[in-house]
Amino acid sequence: MKAIKAITLSLGELDKPVVSKYQFGLIINNIYRSKVYGGEPVNLHKDFAEKSDITKYLNLLLDEGILSPHKNLSNLFTLLGRSDGDPEDIACTVDPFCYISHLSAMSYHGLTDRIPGKLFISSPSANTWRSFAKEKMQKDLGDDFESYCKNGLPRLVRTKMNKINKVELHCLSSKHLGAYKNVKGRPLRVSTVGKTFLDMLRNPELCGGINHVIEVFDEFGKKYLRLVTDEINNNGGPIDKVRAGYILNERLGIDNEVIDSWSSLAQRGGSRKLDSSSEYIPKWSDKWKISLNVF
């Protein structure tokens, strides 16, 4: 079997909406190392692929129309006969460490009837991302990792995503990695319900505004109480707990040991605001010592 046929068939087996240069490099490395596809020998004489081999086969597949450059994303390709896929699936394919968050996650979980004008995604900070990428490459390549890098084959790198098809993206890099769930049968990852509520408190401006956030807490706070309190108790900071405490306890009238324990974190200060994105006003909760800067 010719190598180009084995590469083409391997691409057809991918269950992803787009193909990255790194994924292409993995396929070629695997074929060169095994010299077998589907139990049939592949006609190759070198033990390791080189950078020039990547360029040669990529150009062949582009010329034949089997691969096409993605219209928005650099170094990404679409496969002949494969649908474009949903923007959120593409985003989670392009960035293996991101997940759908904020208003987009609220929409996914049925917490809002608002249709997000942008796709909101969260991803690790630059240094953490690079560390994760190296770990993933080592896991993907095993003993071939050093030779793969030495021969200049495509590495897993972060792709800048401003727009996918016609959908604009809002990408948030955060030191708070957060909890997410994998969606069965799709490359999609989305923040958990609890993490989504925590994000609402931290960035209400990315979740429809503080008034909408309060509406969501009013409607769904009791339904998802355990998920919300577990997430905030385990991963929220003092100000997150105070904000949640005020809404759940003073506004919704919920009283339990976990929420009550958060009241010890209450303290006066100009930065202690219910809405983190708005200015302080001299109206506050006596118990939670937080400015109720909601209009």
Tell me, what's the pLDDT at 295? 67
Give a yes or no: residue 76 inside a domain: yes
Tell me, what's the pLDDT at 177? 74
Give a yes or no: residue 122 inside a domain: yes
Length of the chain in terms of residues written: 295
Rounded CA gap, 187 and 36, in Å? Answer: 28
Give a yes or no: residue 201 inside a domain: no
Tell me, what's the pLDDT at 174? 77
Q: Which of 128, 161, 189 is the last residue of a domain?
A: 189
State how far Cα 132 lies from the chain centre.
13
Q: Which of 158, 189, 220 is the last residue of a domain?
A: 189
The pair of three-digit structure tokens given for residue 191, joined into one six-digit string: 């923040």
**Segments forming the whole domain that contains residue 134:** 3-189
Are both 99 and 218 inside the same structural domain?
no
Tell me, what's the pLDDT at 269? 67
pLDDT values of the chain reduced to their tens digit, one per residue, 295 residues: 999 999 999 999 988 889 999 999 999 999 999 999 988 999 998 999 999 999 999 999 999 999 999 988 988 999 998 877 899 999 999 999 999 999 999 999 999 999 888 999 999 999 999 999 999 999 999 999 999 999 999 999 999 999 998 899 999 987 767 789 999 989 999 999 999 999 999 999 999 999 999 999 999 999 999 999 999 999 999 999 999 999 999 999 999 999 999 999 988 765 688 888 788 888 888 899 998 888 6
Rounded CA gap, 282 and 155, in Å? Answer: 53
Give a yes or no: residue 200 inside a domain: no
Tell me, what's the pLDDT at 259? 96
Are both 96 and 227 inside the same structural domain?
no
Tell me, what's the pLDDT at 293? 86
Are both 123 and 269 inside the same structural domain?
no
Rounded CA gap, 37 and 4, in Å? Answer: 11
Are both 113 and 66 inside the same structural domain?
yes
Q: Domain count for the chain, please give it.
A: 2
Are both 85 and 222 inside the same structural domain?
no
Rounded CA gap, 132 and 255, in Å? Answer: 40
Give a yes or no: residue 173 inside a domain: yes
3-state SS record for 129-164: HHHHHHHHHHHHHHHHHHHHHHCCCCCCCCCCCCEE
Are both 149 and 80 inside the same structural domain?
yes
Are both 126 and 257 inside the same structural domain?
no
Give a yes or no: residue 266 inside a domain: yes
Q: Which of 140, 160, 189 is the last residue of a domain?
A: 189
Give a yes or no: residue 196 inside a domain: no
Are both 69 and 29 inside the same structural domain?
yes
Tell me, what's the pLDDT at 272? 84
Give a yes or no: residue 198 inside a domain: no
Are both 11 and 139 inside the same structural domain?
yes
Are both 34 and 151 inside the same structural domain?
yes
* Residue 24 near residue 66, CB atoms below 8 Å: no
pTM, full prediction: 0.89
Are both 95 and 134 inside the same structural domain?
yes
Are both 160 and 247 inside the same structural domain?
no
| Rg of the chain on CA atoms, in Å | 24
